[in-house]
Amino acid sequence: MLIRFNKPYGVLSQFTPEGKWRGLKDFISLPGVYVAGRLDADSEGLLLLTDDGQLQARIADPRFKMEKTYLAQVEGVADAAALQALSQGVMLNDGLTLPAQARAVEPHAHLWERDPPIRERKAKPTSWIELTIREGRNRQVRRMTAAVGLPTLRLIRTHIGPYSVMDVPLGNWRETELT
């Protein structure tokens, strides 16, 4: 079984709540399913869960290089130089990232509102970047955008490999066919 869950902001990638963060048990009551990969509590979007240990390893293990696509709302304007730097790989404190696919986008028309909303500053514009990576370093997308001068304000994972979250309402899950 493979579950696609649209994780809201403020929810951990574990069933047990911790501190101010809610756990998956508030949304998913299926016995025997486990998270395949992580998504930080302050990020939103696609989280995959499965009852199949081998599938969980294939999804989560970086050796299989399953692409992950994110929408990042960043502070500042995503210009050609920043997108080029992201595309070539960015030097972080733990080394150079692999090249990524990066492009400026408009937010999707059916994108849900975040609760709580992001902070907006009148003097600083925001823009959106779609970023596809093949690694899974800790807080990698946030660190990459910050390294090119565009701090991430909101981060939404839209795809893991062939699996998408865009047809799953926020806070809901759907069982999906393996591809």
What tens digit of pLDDT does each residue of 69-93 get? 999 999 999 999 999 999 999 999 9
Q: What does the pLDDT read at residue 64?
A: 76
What tens digit of pLDDT does each residue of 95-145 get? 999 999 999 999 878 889 999 988 877 888 999 999 999 988 889 999 999
Q: Does the model's pTM come out above 0.85? A: yes
Which entry of 40, 42, 51, 52 is annotated as an active-site residue?
40
Q: What does the pLDDT read at residue 83?
A: 98
| Number of helical H runs and strand E runs in the chain | 3, 11
CA-to-CA separations, 104 to 39, 44, 64, 112, 173, in angstroms, rounded: 22, 19, 27, 19, 28
- Average pLDDT in the 11-21 region? 95
All domains in the chain, ordered by first residue? 1-63+162-179 (3.30.70.580), 67-160 (3.30.70.1560)
Alpha helices in the chain (DSSP H): 53-60, 80-88, 140-147
Residue 4 has pLDDT above 90, yes or no: yes
Cα–Cα distance for residue pair 123/51, rounded to 1 Å: 48
Structure tokens at 51: 């009852």
Q: Is 40 among the catalytic positions?
A: yes
